[in-house]
C-alpha cells in the first residue's frame, strides 16, 4: 500500500484552461485576497469581471465580522467590483443564521463592531456591548443584564477588559446563556501589518469562561458551507474557494469537497507551503495573486 | 499489580497534630485564601499568628502580578498580618527574577498594572504600556518601539485592543523580542465575582502571536519553586503550600515535593474534588478555610 500525499500545484498557463472549464462558481475571500486594509490588490476587479464574462457565478465569503453585508457592497464598489447583498456572506451573517437555526432569541451581549450589530438587529436581536467601548479599566465587576440570552464574540478593535469581564460573567452566571464565536481567525491582514483577529478574542473568553464556544460560525464551519451550497444551489465539485489562509479558507473548501485556490497576498507566504502538516490545509492550486487568473486567461 | 490512587483527606482533629508537627514552613497563596477582594477571610490573621507562635516560617506566594511586594506588605497589614517584603513572592517578582537569570535587559512593553511596573523598574527595566491605557479603539496598527527587548503580560484591568496589537507587533516584528507571561490563572477571585485573570490575556496574545510565551513565571513554575527553596533554604518535604486553585497552587506544591493544603474559600469548590482528573492536582489535605487550622490547634 502506498500513501499518496496531496501536493499543491502552481496554476500555470498549461493547467489553467482545464481548471477554469471545470468550474461554475467562485467563492472569494476578501481581506488579503481582493484588498489589504485600504489598499486594493492589483487586478482584483479585472479578474472578477473576467469570471463573470465567462458566465461564472461569483460570491464573496469573508470571516470579517466588523462590516455588514451592505457595507461590503459599498467597499466592493469602491474597488470597482459590483455586487449585491445576496452575493455576500460574512461571518456576522453566518452567526445570525446559526442563532436563528438554533431558535436563540432576545438580548445579545456583543463583543464586536458595528457590522455585527447591524446584522443582529436586522433579525430582531436586542444588542448591547458597543456602549461599553467608552468604559476603560474599572469597574471590573460588571452588573450584568440577567436576561441576556447569548454572548457573541468577533473582532472588536474597541475591546476592553470591561467587555471581557461582562461577557465572561454572562456565560458563567446566567443559566443557558449561549457563547458563540463569529470566526476563528487569530490574526487579520491590514495595511502593512498583521493585527490580532477575532479568533484571539474568542480564545481569551474561552480561557476565562472555561469552555469553548458552542459554535464558531465563519469559515471553516461546514454548517456554513452547507447553508451556502443549499442557498445558492451550488455543485461543490464545480465550485472554487479562493483565499489567503490555510486554516480557514482552504480547510473550508477542501473539507467540503470544493476546489481550492490559495493566493499569496495575505496571511500565507510561499515559504509556508512546504511546512503544511495537515492534509486538509493543502490547496489544490496556488497563485501569487488574483491578478494571475486574469493574466492567464489573456495569455 | 495494583494502582494506588491518591485521595485527598479533610484535615481533622485526629490528623492535625501529626500534620503540623511534620511542617517547618508554610507558603500561603493570598487571593481566595487570606482575602477575596476587599473582604478578609475570617481567622486568616489568627492562623498566621498561631503558626508563627509555633515557630513555623510563613511566606506569601501569590500569582497576583498587579501589586508590588511593598503594596502586599500594606495589604497584609490592613488584614492584621505583619510581613516584610522578603516574606513575599509575587508572580511579578518571579518574572523579574526570570528576566535577570536570562540576561534580558533594556526596554519592556508591559501588559499589566502598577505593581508589575514597580517590580520591573526596581531592577532597571524601562517600562512602557501603562500610558496606552488611555487609548481606546483605533489606531489599531501601532507604531512600535523597535528597541523593545521583551513583552511581559499579566493581569491588566485596563487592557485594550491597542495594547494587544502593540504587544503582538513587538513579538512578530522585532527579532529576538522575548514574550513572557507572569502567571497562568485564567480567572481571579474577587468580591462576589470571578473575573478574567492574567492567564486569559496571555492566551489571547499566544493566539495572535502564534506561539506560547517562553515562560510563565508564577505558580506552578518549578523554576520559581527552586528559586524559593534556594533563597529561603527550605526543606520541601517539611513545607506546605496552602492555596485555593488546583492548577496553580496544588500542582506547584505537589510537583515540587511539598505538602499541599487546599482551602475552599476561593476558586475550588468541594464538589470539584471528586472531578479531579490529574494526579498532580490532588491536594494532600483540604479544609473549608484557613480558620480551620486555628480552630484545630485550639480544639
Structure confidence by residue, pLDDT tens digits, A173-190? 999 999 999 999 999 877
Tens of pLDDT along B279-289?
999 999 999 99
Tens of pLDDT along A69-89?
999 999 999 999 999 999 999
**CA gap B53, B22 in Å, rounded:** 16
3-state secondary structure chain A: CCCCCCCCEECCHHHHHHHHHCCCEEEECCECCCEECCEECCCHHHHHHHHHHCCCEEEEEECCCCCCHHHHHHHHHHCCCCCCHHHEEEHHHHHHHHHHHCCCCCEEEEECCHHHHHHHHHCCCEEECHHHHHCCCCCCCCCCCCCEEEEEECCCCCCEHHHHHHHHHHHHHCCCCEEEECCCCCEEEECCEEEECHHHHHHHHHHHHCCCCCEECCCCCHHHHHHHHHHHCCCHHHEEEEECCHHHHHHHHHHCCCEEEEECCCCCCHHHHHHCCCHHHCCCEEECCCHHHHHHHHC
B84 phi and psi, to 5 degrees? -105, 155
B interface with A, Cβ–Cβ below 8 Å: 133-134, 136-138, 140-141, 156-161, 164-165, 168-169, 172, 186-187, 190-197, 199-201, 203-208, 210
pLDDT score for B134: 78
Does B17 have pLDDT greater than 70? Answer: yes
Does B1 have pLDDT greater than 90? Answer: no
pLDDT score for B190: 78
pLDDT score for A2: 52
- Provide the greatest CA pair distance for chain A: 64
**Displacement of CA A35 from its chain's centroid (Å):** 14
pLDDT score for A80: 95
Does A94 have pLDDT greater than 60? Answer: yes
pLDDT score for B5: 78
- Position A139 confidence tier, pLDDT thresholds 50, 70, 90: low
Optimal mutation site among B133, B161, B179, B184, interface A, most CBs of chain A within 10 A: B161
- Min CA distance, A195 vs chain B (Å)? 6
Q: What single DSSP character describes residue B279?
A: G
pLDDT score for B3: 58
What mean pLDDT is predicted for residues A41-45? Answer: 96
Does B165 have pLDDT greater than 90? Answer: yes
Cell numbers for A181: 464565536
Does A172 have pLDDT greater than 70? Answer: yes
Q: Angle at the Cα of A260 (from A257 to A263), degrees rounded to 5?
A: 165
User: Quick one: closest CA in B to A192, which residue?
Assistant: B141
Enzyme catalytic residues of A: 29, 31
> In whole angstroms, how far apart are CA B122 and each of A40, B180, B182, B217?
48, 18, 17, 18
- Position B6 confidence tier, pLDDT thresholds 50, 70, 90: confident
- Position A142 confidence tier, pLDDT thresholds 50, 70, 90: confident
Tens of pLDDT along B89-137?
999 999 999 999 999 999 999 999 999 999 999 999 999 999 888 776 6
- Position B193 confidence tier, pLDDT thresholds 50, 70, 90: confident
Does A228 have pLDDT greater than 90? Answer: yes
- Min CA distance, B30 vs chain A (Å)? 19
The reply to whether residue B165 touches residue A196, judged by beta carbons under 8 angstroms, is: yes
Of A136, A157, A205, the CB nearest to B140: A157
A interface with B, Cβ–Cβ below 8 Å: 133-134, 136-138, 140-141, 156-161, 164-165, 168-169, 172, 186-187, 190-197, 199-201, 203-208, 210
ipTM: 0.89
Q: What is the pTM for the complete model shown?
A: 0.90
Range with the poorest average pLDDT among A135-139, B183-187, B261-265: A135-139
What mean pLDDT is predicted for residues A5-16? Answer: 92
Tens of pLDDT along B240-253?
999 999 999 999 99
pLDDT score for B138: 63
User: Quick one: closest CA in A to B193, which residue?
Assistant: A141
* Residues of chain B contacting residue A171, judged by C-beta atoms under 8 Å apart: none
Does A1 have pLDDT greater than 60? Answer: no
Does A4 have pLDDT greater than 70? Answer: no
Kindly report the average pLDDT of chain B as a whole number: 93
What mean pLDDT is predicted for residues A186-204? Answer: 88
Of A141, A195, A199, the CB nearest to B195: A141
Q: What single DSSP character describes residue B62?
A: E
pLDDT score for A230: 92
Q: Residues B91-100, buried b or exposed e (16+ Cβ, 10 A)?
A: bbbbbbbbbe
pLDDT score for B139: 60
- The three-state secondary structure class of B186 is coil
The answer to whether residue B31 is catalytic is yes
Amino acid at each position: 500500500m502506498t500513501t499518496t500525499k496531496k501536493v499543491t500545484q502552481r496554476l500555470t498557463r498549461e493547467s489553467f484552461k482545464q481548471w477554469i472549464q471545470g468550474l461554475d462558481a467562485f467563492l472569494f475571500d476578501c481581506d488579503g485576497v481582493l484588498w489589504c486594509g485600504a489598499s486594493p490588490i492589483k487586478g482584483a476587479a479585472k479578474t472578477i469581471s473576467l469570471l463573470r464574462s465567462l458566465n461564472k457565478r461569483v460570491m464573496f465569503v469573508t470571516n470579517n465580522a466588523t462590516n455588514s453585508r451592505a457595507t461590503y457592497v459599498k467597499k466592493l464598489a469602491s474597488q470597482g467590483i459590483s455586487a449585491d447583498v445576496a452575493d455576500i456572506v460574512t461571518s456576522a451573517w453566518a452567526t445570525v443564521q446559526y442563532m436563528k437555526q438554533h431558535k436563540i432569541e432576545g438580548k445579545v451581549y456583543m463583543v464586536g463592531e458595528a457590522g455585527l450589530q447591524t446584522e443582529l438587529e436586522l433579525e430582531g436581536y436586542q444588542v448591547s456591548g458597543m456602549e461599553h467601548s467608552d468604559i476603560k479599566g474599572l469597574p471590573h465587576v460588571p452588573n450584568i443584564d440577567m436576561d441576556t440570552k447569548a454572548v457573541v464574540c468577533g473582532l472588536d478593535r474597541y475591546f476592553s477588559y470591561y467587555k471581557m469581564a461582562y461577557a465572561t460573567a454572562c456565560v458563567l452566571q446566567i443559566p443557558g446563556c449561549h457563547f458563540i464565536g463569529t470566526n476563528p481567525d487569530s490574526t487579520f491582514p491590514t495595511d502593512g501589518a498583521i493585527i490580532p483577529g477575532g479568533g484571539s478574542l474568542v480564545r481569551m473568553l474561552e480561557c476565562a469562561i472555561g469552555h469553548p464556544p458552542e459554535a464558531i460560525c465563519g469559515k471553516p464551519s461546514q454548517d456554513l458551507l452547507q447553508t451556502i451550497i443549499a442557498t445558492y444551489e451550488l455543485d461543490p465539485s464545480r465550485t472554487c474557494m479562493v483565499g489567503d489562509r490555510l486554516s480557514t479558507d482552504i480547510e473550508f473548501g477542501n473539507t467540503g469537497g470544493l476546489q481550492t485556490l490559495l493566493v499569496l497576498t495575505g496571511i500565507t507566504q510561499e515559504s509556508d507551503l512546504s511546512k503544511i502538516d495537515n492534509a486538509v490545509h493543502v490547496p489544490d492550486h496556488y497563485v501569487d495573486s488574483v491578478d494571475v487568473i486574469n493574466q492567464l486567461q489573456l495569455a
